[in-house]
Amino acid sequence: MKNKQTLIPRKELESVYGIYLKGQINEAIKQVKILNNKYPNQPILFNLIGACFKELGQLENSIKMFKIAVKLNPNYAEGYFNLGVALQSVDQEKEAVESYKKAIKILPGYYDAHNNLGHLFFGLGDFAKAIESLEWAVAYKHDFAEAYNNLGNALNEYGMVDKAIENFHKAIKYNPSYAKAYFNLALVFKSLGNKKDFIENIEKSLSLNVKWGHAYYQLSRVKNFKKNDPQIKQMELILEKNDLSIVDRIGFNFALAKAYEDIGSLDEQFKFLNEANSLRKKELNYSIEKDQKLFARIKETFNYMPSVESYKASNSNSIRLIFILGMPRSGTSLVHQIIDSHKDVCGVGELNNLNKLVTPLLKKYKSEDKKGFSENELLSIGEKYINALPISGSKEKIIIDKMPLNFRYIGFILTAFKDAKVIHMNRDPMATCWSIYKYEFRGNGYSFNQEDIATYYDLYLDLMDFWKKLFPDRIYDVNYEDLTSNQVENTREILNYCELDWDENCLNFHSNKTAVKTTSSMQVREKMYQGSSEVWKKYESHLQPLIKGLNYYKD
């Protein structure tokens, strides 16, 4: 009878592990099974075969094996860590969090587990917990470059820009060839309007990874290309290679579109721009029906909401909220900078918090065929939103969230927050939609096809009409063109709506040092100018699907 407690001879175990490291995964699985027959119920074998299944992309089998490993040995820290990695790969975030926590409880100094847990919290939008975990990671491993990079990202999202820069520098110190750290550092400088340091770091990242299409795209947003610029030819030669990922191809095509725009070659510009957008839509496998269903569901839900008059909305005595929303590229960043320049206001940029809180509830009601939200659920949205605000240490208690697509959730805002101010930006439809098509808005699936953009714009108009009927006099409209032509009067009216005293600094918004993590990060550092809404006209022949979709030229 086989002894279940017999230890596996080190030589046999190392032999199998060596096969695994060579990438001979199927052979490794075969050898592990042989060992398992000789030495049954050994956690290390289930851990190893779980790793093999993960390499083969058989994630469910991988998870099953890791679970057996930790069941056989509840103190198996590495088994819990590997289980966390596998669970994270199949988007079982809550279960992954618990696995990483168990690994850390068994082995407090498990810096890889702290790092992964922090990165997971970052993806979930819980930046405070992400920072805590990542600080533990670097505390246990002082030269942990990856953790410093992740910590920099978390600090940046939490509004602690100076500390973010410090941690990116530490990542580079411990790994001078860390292209991602240079790239992330560059984006921080871009958000601060620091063109010089942005270019220096983005070019450093490109010197380390010459095929990084998205880095070229970021550089193109700031650089003004001239005719015969050698970088244009360099990008075209790289794009001809067959070993580029679709993500890099998208980046190169967007970058080349910007380059040819700068030198005035419109046909070439749209050749690359159309290809970039086509590739991105293909990558996302996006259909406009997805957003049509979402908008219909939102409206349907609000037909069964508690009455606005009777609902006991959240009314924090310490926090006042201002939401600036509308279509992307409608001027939300400009108004954010204007109001944020006020001495009593703290702008936190574009937060995805509301979307993360509302989306699960919409999905829940869809699957359960329910109608409407309860008052407790709306109160929960309000409380969780407030608690997640990245305002640690901030003295100002008037907070701006300028996520444009929050227009989808105006009803939730005005029922969950009693005193919230909602500023709706509107701009010439063609100027707005052309600008959306021109830039890469990675999270907005509709933005990569002219017909989809036009259809989405109609959905937006319809939903805004729905909200205004449901909440009369609660939504303040600001027209971008009016604002740029009459800055003083419109700024005064905006501040009055927000119940803010006049502050001359609001006219000098371009001097505001607040980080701006949007496409407009450099533009809002400049004084207000007129005429930007007319620029699209020189591309009119290339924008016919958009013009027709918007029915822009009406009889």
147-151, 154-158, 414-418, 467-471: least confidently modelled range: 414-418
The answer to whether residues 192 and 513 touch, using CB atoms and an 8 Å cutoff, is yes
- Condensed to tens digits (0 to 9), the pLDDT of residues 441-461 reads 887 999 999 999 999 999 999
- Distance CA(446)–CA(390), nearest Å, equals 29
Looking at residue 363, its pLDDT comes to 82
Write the DSSP assignment of 178-241 as a string of letters.
-HHHHHHHHHHHHHTT-HHHHHHHHHHHHHH-TT-HHHHHHHHHH----TT-HHHHHHHHHHT-
* 531-549 average pLDDT score: 91
- Distance CA(193)–CA(208), nearest Å, equals 24
Which band of pLDDT confidence, cut at 50, 70 and 90, is reported for residue 310?
Answer: very low
Beta 345-347 vs 475-479: how paired, if at all? Answer: unpaired
The residue assigned the tokens 């290309």 is 225
For the four alpha carbons of 399, 425, 312 and 362, in that order, the dihedral sign comes to negative
Looking at residue 519, its pLDDT comes to 54
Calculate what percentage of the chain has a pLDDT beyond 70.
90
Looking at residue 525, its pLDDT comes to 42
- Distance CA(515)–CA(534), nearest Å, equals 28
Both tokens assigned to 364:
């829940």
Q: Is the pLDDT of residue 3 over 50?
A: no
Q: Give the residue ranges of DSSP H helices in 285-348.
A: 288-302, 332-340
Looking at residue 376, its pLDDT comes to 80
- Distance CA(129)–CA(135), nearest Å, equals 10
CA atoms within 13 A on the CB side of 297: 20
Q: Is the pLDDT of residue 72 over 70?
A: yes
- Condensed to tens digits (0 to 9), the pLDDT of residues 262-289 reads 999 999 999 999 999 999 999 999 999 9
pTM of this structure: 0.84
The answer to whether residues 485 and 530 touch, using CB atoms and an 8 Å cutoff, is yes
- Condensed to tens digits (0 to 9), the pLDDT of residues 162-217 reads 999 999 999 999 999 999 999 999 999 998 889 999 999 999 999 999 999 999 99
Q: How does the average pLDDT of the chain come out, rounded?
A: 89
Give all domains of the chain, ordered by start, each with its CATH number.
210-285 (no CATH), 290-550 (3.40.50.300)
| CA distances for 81 relative to 32, 275, 372, angstroms | 20, 41, 40
Which band of pLDDT confidence, cut at 50, 70 and 90, is reported for residue 524?
Answer: very low
369-373, 420-424, 505-509: least confidently modelled range: 369-373
Both tokens assigned to 156:
């940046």
Looking at residue 326, its pLDDT comes to 97
Looking at residue 193, its pLDDT comes to 86
- Distance CA(366)–CA(350), nearest Å, equals 27
